[in-house]
Amino acid sequence: MKKRLMLFVISVAMCMMSVLFVDARAQKPWTVLVYMTASFEKAPYAFLNIREMAHVGSNDMVNILVYLTIEEKKGVTKTKKLYIEKGKARQIGSSMVRDSGDVATFMEAVQWSAVDYPSDHSAIVIWDRAGDAEYKTVYRSAVKNICYSDSTDRSLSDYDFVNVLSWVKDNVRGGVPFDIIAFDTSFLATIEMAYAFSSCAHYYVASQDSISIDGFQYASWLRSLSVNRLVPAEVVARLVTTYDQEYSLDDFTSLSVVDLSLLSLLVNNINAVSCVLASLLEEKHFEENKHIIKKCVNKNLCFSFDGHRYIDIKNFYKNILKYSINFHMSLFTLHKFHNLLNDGLSLFPLVVKKRVLGKKSKDVGGLSVYFSRYSIDQLYYGLYWSKNNADWLFFLEKYIV
C-alpha cells in the first residue's frame, strides 16, 4: 500500500512539473532572447527594461527570455537565466559567473533559447549597457567592443556573433536563419555589422547614433507579439514604430531595419563605387580628386556618427553625385559613375526600412560606413566585412596616402 502511495505521489509530482514547464517547452510562434550586459551603474536600466517585459510576459504566443550579466562591483559578475512571466521574472537554475564578452557565454545563451524554447520564429536582442561605452577609450576603435566586460577586458566581435549564430542555425535550427537580430545599443547600424549578420538572419535592427538610455520600448512591441500571430516584417515594424513614438521629439536619433535578403545588392554597389573612387586616387590628378572626396565627407555636408568616424552612406552618395562633375574623368566614365550612384540610391528604400527620427535626420539613409580621414584602425582589417569585401578598405588606403 505504501509503495502504491509513493508511486502515486511521484506520478502526481511529475505531472505537476510537466504542467509547470509545458508553457515554455511547447512550440510557440515566437521566442525572444535578450542578451543583456550591464555595468553596476547601468543595472537600474536593465531592471527597468525587465519590468517592462514583465508587463507583457510569456504566454502561448511568445517566450520572453533574458540572459542577464551584471557586474555588481569591480571584478565580480553575476549571470542569471530569466524566463519572463506576467508580472515577474522567474530564474531558471542557479546564478552563474560568466564573462559577457566571452564567445562561450554568448553560445550558452543562444543554445539555451534555441534548444529549450523552440518556436516558429526567433528574435535575439543584444542589450549592451556594459558601461559608458561612448566615452571608453577601448570603445574608440573601428570595432565596437560589444558587451565589453570591465573585469576581463573582453568583448564580442563580429566574428563571434557570426560563428555562434551560424553554428546554432546549422546544428540546432536545421539551417533556418534567425528572423531578427536587434541591437539595443549605440552606433551599430553600419554596413560592416549588417553584412556580418546577412548569412544567418533575415532582419537586422540597429541605430546609427546613440541609443536612448531607456532603449527599446519592450512593453509596447512585445505586447503586439503576445496577442497577434505576426510575421517578422511586422515585428520589426512594430519595434521601430514604438521607438519612434517614444523619442520622436529628439533632434536626432535613429533606428534602422535592414532587409538582409537584399543587402548583397547594396554591398555589390558599394564595392563598385569603391573601385571607381580608388581609381580616381591612382591618377595624376590625385590631389584634386581627393579634395572633392574630402568635401563630400565634410561633417557639415555629410551626417557622421561615433566621433565622425562613421558616415551615412546615402548622404555620401548624394554628395559624390552632386560634386562628381568636378572629378577628372571622361564624360563616358562620368555617365557610368552617375548610373552606378543612382542605382545605389534607389536600393536604400528597398534594403533599409528605416524610421529616422528628429528634425535633423530627414536626409539620413539609415546605414553608416567607416571612413578614416587620417589613419585606418588596424582592427578594421580583421572585420568580417573587410575580409570579404576589400574594395572599400582599398579605397580608404588610397585616400589616406
Asked whether the predicted pLDDT for residue 387 surpasses 90, the reply is: yes
Q: Is the pTM of this model over 0.85?
A: yes
Structure-derived torsion over alpha carbons of residues 168, 172, 177, 179, reported in degrees to the nearest 10: -90
Asked whether the predicted pLDDT for residue 53 surpasses 90, the reply is: yes
- Tens digits of per-residue pLDDT, 109-131? 999 999 999 999 999 999 997 64
| Chain centroid offset of residue 88 CA | 27
- Tens digits of per-residue pLDDT, 6-22? 433 333 343 444 444 44
Domains of the chain: which residue ranges?
Answer: 23-261, 264-400
Query: Residue 314: its pLDDT value, please?
Result: 95
Residue 60: Cβ-neighbour burial (10 angstroms; 0-12, 13-18, 19+): exposed
- Tens digits of per-residue pLDDT, 226-278? 998 999 999 999 999 888 877 766 556 788 999 999 999 999 999 999 999 99
Tell how strand 62-73 and strand 28-38 pair up: parallel
Asked whether the predicted pLDDT for residue 75 surpasses 90, the reply is: no
Instruction: Give 235 or 71, the one with higher predicted confidence.
Output: 235
CA dist 353 to 73, 256, 259, 393, Å? 40, 6, 7, 26
- Tens digits of per-residue pLDDT, 205-220? 999 988 887 889 999 9
CA dist 363 to 109, 250, 251, 312, 314, Å? 38, 15, 13, 9, 8
Q: What span, in angstroms and rounded, lies between the C-alpha atoms of 170 and 166?
A: 6
E strand or H helix at 155: strand 154-156
- For residue 373, which amino acid is it? R
Query: Residue 133: its pLDDT value, please?
Result: 43
- Tens digits of per-residue pLDDT, 171-195? 999 999 999 999 999 999 999 999 9
Residue in this structure with the C-alpha cell 539555451, named with its chain if needed: 112
E strand or H helix at 323: helix 313-323
Query: Residue 58: its pLDDT value, please?
Result: 97
Mean pLDDT score of the chain: 87
Confidence bin at 362 (pLDDT 50/70/90): low
Grid coordinates representing 184 are 539595443
Q: What span, in angstroms and rounded, lies between the C-alpha atoms of 352 and 270?
A: 14
Query: Residue 22: its pLDDT value, please?
Result: 40
The CATH T-level fold of domain 23-261 is Rossmann fold (3.40.50)
Q: What span, in angstroms and rounded, lies between the C-alpha atoms of 235 and 69?
A: 26
Q: What span, in angstroms and rounded, lies between the C-alpha atoms of 111 and 116?
A: 8
